[in-house]
């Protein structure tokens, strides 16, 4: 159930957030309407609607098999929808202009294990008509790749590979970066390093980030969260509102007048339960305590 799935949102560890984030004018850069994908009789994604504004950090949260990766596949043009429409900056999948707007970090890397980090990234950069040397150098610095530039990709740790993968996806100056479960198997420190670098890029370039994850803590800094299960959006809101709705804070009061305290709480419109000599009161905000 949704309530159980989101219950731990109330105790999420806050990760790095840019303190000087620029105010981004609300303007949709991506829209999907009635997006559906079936594989034979199986409905993987069932008529979802999405709107992502320029500069937003949007998370698709859900368990394995929920339809998150299939959704990303359709949004990036790699999977043909059964029905529905998608636009990115007024372009549709299949158009060259559409692909020029996006960067994708896949669950499995597409880089050559036998080449060095430097060779991999420069080879990818040359695939674009006008490779930007200054931008290339900035990405190397932003993701701390200088110490590993001459290492072959196959010898890197999981965290080093993921940082390289993200830099590769950003080489073409995309307006939208898609991250398909990028932190799976990574330690907390590496995940924080990656999110700190992406937060800085969002401030500098108004980069739009779309993430799929089953890690609750990775949604903490998202501007908006779509909760997906069994191919459907079962909740869509800000993290704060989702926590308030599905993971209320609980105030525990030890008292010899439990019945009286419960009555007062109920009169205030709060749900309260008595457990032994304690009264457990569900509150919407810590300030209510």
pLDDT over threshold 60, residue 21: no
**C-alpha separations of 134 from 48, 125, 139, 173 in Å:** 39, 12, 9, 12
- Between 268 and 143, where is the model more confident? 143
The strands making up 42-53's β-sheet, listed across from edge to edge, are: 42-53, 28-39, 83-88
Do the Cβ atoms of 170 and 146 come closer than 8 Å?
Answer: no
Q: Kindly report which listed range (6-20, 69-83, 118-132) carries the lowest average pLDDT score.
A: 6-20
Task: Return the CATH class of domain 29-242.
Answer: alpha beta
Residue ranges in 39-132 assigned as alpha helix (H): 68-75, 96-100, 117-125
- Phi and psi dihedrals of 232, rounded to 5? -130, 150
Q: What is the pLDDT of residues 221-241, one digit of tens each?
A: 899 999 999 999 999 999 888
Q: Give the rounded distance of the alpha carbon of 69 from its chain centre.
A: 12
- Between 108 and 111, where is the model more confident? 111
Do the Cβ atoms of 94 and 245 come closer than 8 Å?
Answer: no
Question: Which helix H or strand E contains 139, and what residues bound it?
Answer: helix 133-142
Q: Give the rounded distance of the alpha carbon of 165 from its chain centre.
A: 16
pTM to 2 decimal places: 0.78
Q: What is the pLDDT of residues 69-96, one digit of tens each?
A: 999 999 999 999 999 999 998 899 989 9
The domain segmentation of the chain, as residue ranges, is 29-242, 250-288
């Amino acid at each position: 159930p949704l309530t159980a799935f989101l219950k731990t949102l109330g105790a999420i560890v806050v990760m790095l957030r840019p303190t000087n984030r620029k105010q981004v004018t609300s303007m949709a850069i991506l829209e999907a309407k009635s997006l559906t994908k079936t594989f034979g009789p199986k409905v993987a994604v069932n008529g979802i609607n999405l709107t992502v504004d320029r500069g937003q950090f949007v998370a698709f949260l859900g368990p394995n098999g929920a339809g998150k990766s299939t959704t990303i596949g359709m949004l990036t043009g790699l999977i043909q929808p059964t029905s529905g429409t998608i636009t990115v900056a007024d372009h549709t999948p299949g158009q060259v202009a559409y692909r020029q707007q996006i960067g994708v970090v896949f669950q499995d890397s597409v880089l050559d294990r036998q080449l060095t980090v430097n060779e991999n990234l420069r080879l990818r950069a040359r695939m674009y008509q006008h490779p930007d040397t200054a931008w290339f150098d900035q990405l190397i610095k932003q993701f701390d790749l200088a110490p590993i530039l001459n290492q072959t990709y196959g010898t890197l740790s999981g965290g080093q590979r993921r940082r390289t993968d993200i830099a590769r996806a950003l080489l073409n100056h995309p307006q939208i970066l898609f991250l398909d479960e990028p932190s799976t198997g990574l330690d907390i420190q590496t995940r924080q390093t990656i999110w700190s670098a992406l937060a800085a890029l969002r401030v500098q370039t108004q980069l739009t980030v779309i993430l799929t994850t089953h890690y609750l803590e990775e949604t903490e800094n998202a501007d908006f969260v779509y909760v997906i299960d069994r191919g459907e959006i079962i909740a869509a809101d800000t993290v704060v509102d989702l926590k308030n709705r599905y993971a209320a804070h609980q105030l525990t009061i030890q008292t010899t007048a439990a019945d009286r305290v419960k009555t007062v709480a109920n009169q205030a419109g709060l749900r309260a339960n008595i457990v032994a000599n304690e009264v457990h009161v569900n509150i919407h905000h810590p300030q209510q305590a």
